[in-house]
Structure 1
Amino acid sequence: MSDCCSAPGLLPFDCALENMLSQIAPVTQTLTLPITQALNYVLAQDIASPLNVPNHDNSAMDGYAFAIESLAQGNTLKLVGRSMAGAPFQGECKLGECIRIMTGAKMPACCDSVEMQENVHVEAEQITFLQDKQLGSHVRKAGEDIQLGQHVLSQGHKISAVDVGILASLGVSDVTVYRKLKVALIATGDELKLPGQALSSGDIYESNSFVLRGMLEKLHVDVIDFGIIEDDFDAIKAAFVSADSQADAVISSGGVSVGDADYTKTVLDDLGEIGFWKIAMKPGKPFAFGKLPHSFFFGLPGNPVSALVTFHQLALVALTKMQNADALKRTSIQVKCISDLKKSPGRMDFQRGVLSVNEQGENVVESTGSQGSGILSSLARANCFIVLPSEQGKVAAGEMVTVQLFDQFIC
């Protein structure tokens, strides 16, 4: 661990993130997939265009193709042929002549402009143009979208549905991508029960793994869910040994507070090099990160909001690097807060807020209410984090604050 992690007191959030990312090793194994199966995979190669898109000048309208010079002698031209998408006109279009053309059809030789069909008068083969035209009207030039040799997609880019369409438009049928990460989820605790099971006195329903699994599936990883492991040293150790042998990353929630007398912490100390940190963030002060024999470990707090926030702000960033993907980009803006916010200096605070537009057309944010780390509904009602720096104290209504919009992993 770096020096900043051994400093007394709470570990600054930025220091924790930097320390963690400095130790992460991305996957290097690749595979080649047809583009129909490549959605959400991370590119392991740069993609340059092997052709112009479009690969020929074509019409942007249904109408008539002509040479602009033809209109110098009059506004009526003779129709001498047709150009259809996939069936271009093969003859010669001379001055004073025009070609019927459909949207997407190849521009005939010697034609440089198109008039839409609504702006002409047709009488047999005589086409009268009703408006003045400019050179190049309604013509899409070859390479207007993408040029031959142009850099299109970069290594590390996660392939979207639009990207699949772009690849198809380039004639690219297969791409080289990094393999998917395998991530193991472990929940421990005799008090935890699955939805549908009856609760006994002192029991609670386990929810963290359900939230985390949903977010991990959006990250496009293979999830290995170990379910709930009872509070038994041998059972917990067996689960972690098995998870470590199967996964690139192991994630657990609960049992990471320094000084907790629980089996999870004992097992992790025995199996790997794990740092148990107190991070200067709220919610989510207790957090564990380190290396097991074959995987990286992320230990999240047990409270639902704390687990989600530490996963979103810390573990998810690290997992993205493990994917060999481009770093996550999150949108933050400065807006007026219309709620009083409780805050004491000392920890970076991720309060849950609702961003909206007021009657004056201004972006404003208000608190969702109680910010307790066990109130998962505060996240369900929110659409953003109100990010308050560690040195910040309470906020009065009317002050400007930084808002981080929820991304696809939470929404």
Structure 2
Amino acid sequence: MSTAAPRTAGPDHLWSVDEHLDDILATVRPLEPIELHLLDAQGCVLVEDITVPVSLPPFDNSSMDGYAVRVADVAGASEQYPAALEVVGDVAAGQADLLHVGPGQAARIMTGAPLPPGAETVVPVEWTDGGLGEGPVTGMRAGSLDPEGATGQVRVHRPAEARAHVRAKGSDVKAGDRALAAGTVLGPPQISLLAAIGRGTVRVRPRPRVVVLSTGSELVQPDEELRSGQIYDSNSFALTAAARDAGAIAYRVGAVADDATTLRDTIEDQLVRADLMVTTGGVSVGAYDVVKEALSYAADEDEPGSGVEFRKLAMQPGKPQGFGSIGPDHTPLLALPGNPVSSYVSFELFVRPAIRTLMGLTDVHRPRARAKLTADRPLTSPRGRRQFLRARYTDGTVTPVGGAGSHLVAALAQADALIVVPEDAESVAPGTEVEVVLLG
């Protein structure tokens, strides 16, 4: 996979949120297109327009079980004076050899069956006696069709307009129409359409493979017993789920202890199945920040241009960040903070757009809106940092949930939006219109 080289800056440079994001999006490249079978292409992005080779439906067909007739033969038909027609045979779905319907005749027709030559309209079986009138008809009753029934006579109790209950050839799409445009994400309806027009494979950009791993000797897997000083690893689960929600094929790696050699070996082992690596934890200035120790940006004789630069961003939460590329294929790696809220906010702002870029999408960001702030007191924010606060968004209003602490997971589970407080604001009063990132 090809990536451009990320920018570098001095250790004291304070990156803005926009600078860091722009650097990521300028570095990450969409994955190369491949040909996939339809079900394997679900969730992928088309790289070419799809033209309809055959009209849908490919022939005029009946939308009802009933009788194919001529309009003139049922004109004026009523319960008191039904039109009596000769039944000349059956027309079933998939039938190739069609009988001809002449004056005074009718053909029993099944839903989806082609309209036979000579017929102009279809009367539902409920508008008839089901073929129980005079004549050698057997096996029919009103409200149903028996495909094994013999020819005979049917009485029609209502008139029908021309082409009533007929699905016209090409009424869905016509041959030569554009069925799907390049850039379309393939969901179930799109896959259905591709199959309906006879496409068994399609050229797409594959869903990116994202490997997520967390670091920290204090981390324990859920369902295991906690000992003194330990916590459960939630970040790797949250970020793996978030990567899948963004459209990726995501793999979660168990938490790695605070050992630089073990971490680097684990990452190198995972590169074979990664289009993007995401780590969480170990990126600040502590003595045990092993991600920085293992991956700090440095020239590598075997892998020129690779390495990860660790940065300080003018944001809260999520000030410490890392970004770069590793391995012989220059696989992009984003190193996120270890606090749960910091890592999740960082994912939404930086990793999700990177995943969507790898997919080949043009709109890679969460939608944003303007909303009126409802709160008991003014919001405070450190000057010079862009703050992102968890919130609930409802009908043009937004309400903060939980405090500003980057460890408050319970409040994060209640949030469906992030309030954006700009760098130059130290306080935001209730009733103020604010920018909101919509997470739902």
Q: TM-score, normalised by structure 1?
A: 0.81
Contact 1:350 1:388 in 2 (8 A): yes
Distance 1:332 1:182, change over 3 A: closer
User: Whole-Å Cα distance in 1 between the matches of residues 74 and 429 of structure 2?
Assistant: 69
Q: Does 1:193 align with 2:220?
A: yes
Residue matched to 1:318: 354
Question: Residue 354 of structure 1: which of 387, 392, 401 is its match?
Answer: 392
Residue matched to 2:303: none
Contact 2:6 2:324 in 1 (8 A): no
Question: Residue 322 of structure 2: which of 283, 288, 303 is its match?
Answer: 288
Question: Residue 342 of structure 1: which of 373, 379, 402 is its match?
Answer: 379
Distance 1:79 1:89, change over 3 A: farther
User: Whole-Å Cα distance in 2 between the matches of residues 72 and 400 of structure 1?
Assistant: 66
Contact 1:121 1:130 in 2 (8 A): no
Contact 2:7 2:23 in 1 (8 A): no
Residue matched to 1:274: 308
CA drift at 1:158: 3.5
Q: Which amino acid aligns with 1:56?
A: F
CA drift at 1:397: 4.7
Q: Which amino acid aligns with 1:378?
A: A
User: Whole-Å Cα distance in 2 between the matches of residues 273 and 150 of structure 1?
Assistant: 48
User: Whole-Å Cα distance in 2 between the matches of residues 349 and 79 of structure 1?
Assistant: 80
Residue matched to 2:143: none
Question: Residue 416 of structure 2: which of 365, 380, 383 is its match?
Answer: 383
CA drift at 1:289: 1.5
SS at structure 1 position matched to 2:213: strand
Distance 1:322 1:129, change over 3 A: same
Distance 1:168 1:256, change over 3 A: same
CA drift at 1:401: 4.6
Residue matched to 1:208: 235
Question: Residue 303 of structure 1: which of 339, 357, 366 is its match?
Answer: 339
Question: Residue 18 of structure 1: which of 1, 8, 22 is its match?
Answer: 22
When structure 1 is superposed on structure 2, of 169-178 and 363-372 the one drifting more is 363-372
Q: How is 1:244-283 mapped onto 2 (pairs within 5 angstroms)?
A: 244=271, 247-257=274-284, 259-261=285-287, 262-269=289-296, 270=298, 272-283=306-317
Q: How is 1:4-403 mapped onto 2 (pairs within 5 angstroms)?
A: 10-28=14-32, 30=34, 32-70=35-73, 76-77=82-83, 78-80=85-87, 81-87=89-95, 90-95=98-103, 97-119=105-127, 124=133, 125-130=153-158, 133-219=160-246, 221-244=248-271, 247-257=274-284, 259-261=285-287, 262-269=289-296, 270=298, 272-293=306-327, 294-325=330-361, 327-328=363-364, 330-340=366-376, 342-344=379-381, 346-356=384-394, 364-390=397-423, 394-403=427-436
User: Whole-Å Cα distance in 2 between the matches of residues 137 and 392 of structure 1?
Assistant: 66
Distance 1:234 1:9, change over 3 A: closer
CA drift at 1:346: 4.5
SS at structure 2 position matched to 1:291: strand
CA drift at 1:99: 3.7
Contact 1:283 1:305 in 2 (8 A): yes
CA drift at 1:214: 2.1
User: Whole-Å Cα distance in 2 between the matches of residues 10 and 379 of structure 1?
Assistant: 27
Q: Which amino acid aligns with 2:62?
A: S
Distance 1:138 1:8, change over 3 A: farther
Contact 2:86 2:104 in 1 (8 A): no
Residue matched to 2:439: 406
Distance 1:89 1:232, change over 3 A: closer
Structure 2: state its 5+ residue gaps.
134-152, 301-305
Q: What is the RMSD computed on CA atoms of the aligned residues?
A: 3.5
User: Whole-Å Cα distance in 1 between the matches of residues 414 and 232 of structure 2?
Assistant: 21
CA drift at 1:180: 4.9
Q: Which amino acid aligns with 1:22?
A: A
Distance 1:393 1:49, change over 3 A: farther
SS at structure 2 position matched to 1:199: coil
User: Whole-Å Cα distance in 2 between the matches of residues 111 and 401 of structure 1?
Assistant: 64
SS at structure 1 position matched to 2:379: coil
Q: Which amino acid aligns with 1:150?
A: D
User: Whole-Å Cα distance in 1 between the matches of residues 161 and 9 of structure 2?
Assistant: 67
When structure 1 is superposed on structure 2, of 60-69 and 166-175 the one drifting more is 60-69
Count residues in correspondence. Answer: 399
Identity of aligned residues (%): 31
CA drift at 1:322: 1.8
Contact 1:88 1:105 in 2 (8 A): no
User: Whole-Å Cα distance in 2 between the matches of residues 327 and 12 of structure 1?
Assistant: 21
Q: Which amino acid aligns with 1:128?
A: V
Q: TM-score, normalised by structure 2?
A: 0.76
SS at structure 1 position matched to 2:202: strand
Distance 1:244 1:126, change over 3 A: closer
Residue matched to 1:359: none
